[in-house]
């Protein structure tokens, strides 16, 4: 059995892809499934076809980490055009209103940006994947039916103006998962009084992964053909938040945890009740996601990963 076959049999980890414009996130996952020969693969946060950038794809048993990876904060470079609003809040939609933008100054734009920082309520775009009475909002919108979406709480950690070249401006957006940058562009346009819509979007960070770790899809496809794709595979434990404490288990503890038993934290670990912990072998392989039970002073396995 060659090295590729061995790795394919035991593979579990993360591929961080730089998704090109014009392709759906699902299409990228399909390419990865075909290229690796592994059916168990899934992304951790959709990027629109018109958007590019960091797409985190979990492979093999690592897909079970999705609930924590999907909830990670995101960062985008958003290009916004002032002077027109559209029904989709981006360049694909029908223009619904126009207004002069020439009187908007750089100082005023930056002042308005600050109003959208912090915890805010945001209404998703009518053309979004949010479900309304069992149907996707974009399907209802395309049918010409009224779409009433409830506002949801999001966090915008920072909005920084990167480039001022009106009518187009480029903004760095650092936000919580579930934020619609299209809605932000539309709402900023409303606040300015001239309207605005999103014309370009690049995800620069998803959780702990940035464009620095991302491999362009074309290069990954070349690696599939050469049988070298596994060099881009990151350990599953790296998908989890960096601020979760890490515990390295000895072989006896590994056996206990893999059979669902609790263990004591190691000396020197300072944990709070309900804190999540990453448990790895002495070789660095992910054994389990664990939760600290304060009253009992023990770590309880929450999700266990078995070696092949």
Give the other-Cβ count within 10 Å of 144's Cβ: 7
The residue ranges of every structural domain in the chain are 3-71+208-239, 79-193, 246-304
Q: What is the pLDDT of residue 71?
A: 87
Q: Which helix (H) or strand (E) holds 107?
A: helix 106-115
| Joined tokens for residue 272 | 């709070």
Q: Is CATH 3.30.2350.10 what the domain over 79-193 is classified as, yes or no?
A: yes
Q: What is the pLDDT of residue 124?
A: 85
For the chain, what is the mean pLDDT?
90
One fold for both 3-71+208-239 and 79-193? yes
Q: How far apart (Å, rounded) are the C-alpha atoms in residues 124 and 122?
A: 6
Query: Which residue among the candidates 2, 9, 48, 285 is catalytic per the annotation?
Result: 48
Q: Is the pLDDT of residue 9 over 80?
A: no
Q: What is the pLDDT of residue 160?
A: 98
Q: Is the pLDDT of residue 45 over 50?
A: yes
Average pLDDT over residues 184-190: 97
Task: Give the rounded percent of residues in the chain with a pLDDT score beyond 90.
Answer: 81
- 3-state percent breakdown (helix, strand, coil) of the chain, nearest 5: 25, 35, 40
| Joined tokens for residue 212 | 């620095």
At the fourth CATH level, which superfamily is domain 246-304?
PUA domain (2.30.130.10)
CB burial string 254-265: b at 16+ within 10 A, e below? beebbeeeebeb
Q: What is the pLDDT of residue 150?
A: 83
Q: How far apart (Å, rounded) are the C-alpha atoms in residues 303 and 238?
A: 16
Average pLDDT over residues 75-85: 98
Average pLDDT over residues 54-76: 94
Res. 149 pLDDT band, cuts 50 70 90 = confident
Average pLDDT over residues 114-131: 83
Q: What is the pLDDT of residue 3?
A: 43
Average pLDDT over residues 85-101: 94
User: What is the Cα 53 distance to its own chain's centre?
Assistant: 10
DSSP-derived letter for residue 90 is: B
Q: Span 3-71+208-239: which CATH code? A: 3.30.2350.10
For 211-233, the pLDDT digits (tens) are 999 999 999 999 999 999 999 99
Q: Which residues contact 3 (CB under 8 A, 6 or more apart)?
A: none
Q: How far apart (Å, rounded) are the C-alpha atoms in residues 155 and 171?
A: 16
Q: Is the pLDDT of residue 4 over 60?
A: no
User: What is the Cα 104 distance to its own chain's centre?
Assistant: 33
Of 20 and 5, the structure prediction assigns the larger pLDDT to 20
Q: Is the pLDDT of residue 133 over 60?
A: no
Q: Is the pLDDT of residue 1 over 70?
A: no
Q: Is 151 helix (H, G, I), strand (E, B) or coil?
A: coil
Res. 6 pLDDT band, cuts 50 70 90 = very low
| Joined tokens for residue 276 | 């999540």
Is 18 part of the annotated catalytic residue set? no
């Amino acid at each position: 059995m060659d090295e590729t076959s061995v790795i394919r049999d035991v593979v579990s980890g993360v591929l961080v892809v730089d998704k090109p414009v014009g392709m759906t996130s699902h299409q990228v996952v399909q390419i990865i499934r075909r290229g690796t020969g592994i059916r168990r693969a899934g992304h951790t946060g959709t990027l629109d076809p018109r958007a590019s950038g960091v797409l985190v794809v979990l492979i093999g048993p690592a897909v079970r980490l999705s609930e924590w990876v999907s909830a990670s904060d995101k960062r985008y470079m958003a290009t916004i055009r002032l002077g027109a609003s559209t029904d989709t809040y981006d360049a694909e939609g029908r223009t619904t209103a126009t207004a002069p933008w020439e009187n908007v100054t750089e100082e005023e734009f930056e002042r308005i940006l600050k109003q959208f920082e912090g915890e805010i309520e945001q209404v998703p775009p009518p053309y979004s994947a949010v479900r309304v009475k069992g149907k996707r909002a974009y399907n209802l919108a395309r049918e010409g039916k009224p779409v009433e979406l409830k506002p949801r709480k999001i966090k915008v950690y920072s909005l920084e103006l990167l480039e001022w070249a009106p009518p187009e401006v480029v903004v760095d957006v650092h936000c919580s998962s579930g934020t619609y940058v299209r809605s932000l562009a539309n709402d900023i346009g409303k606040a300015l009084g001239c309207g605005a819509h999103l014309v370009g979007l690049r995800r620069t960070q998803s959780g702990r992964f940035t464009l620095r770790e991302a491999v362009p899809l074309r290069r990954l496809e070349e690696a599939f053909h050469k049988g070298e794709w596994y060099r881009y595979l990151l350990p599953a434990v790296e998908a989890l938040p960096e601020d979760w404490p890490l515990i390295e288990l000895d072989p006896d503890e590994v056996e206990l945890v893999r059979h669902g038993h609790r263990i004591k934290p190691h000396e020197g670990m300072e944990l709070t009740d309900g804190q999540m912990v990453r448990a790895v072998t002495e070789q660095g392989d992910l054994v389990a996601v664990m939760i600290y039970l304060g009253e009992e002073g023990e770590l309880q396995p929450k999700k266990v990963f078995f070696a092949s």
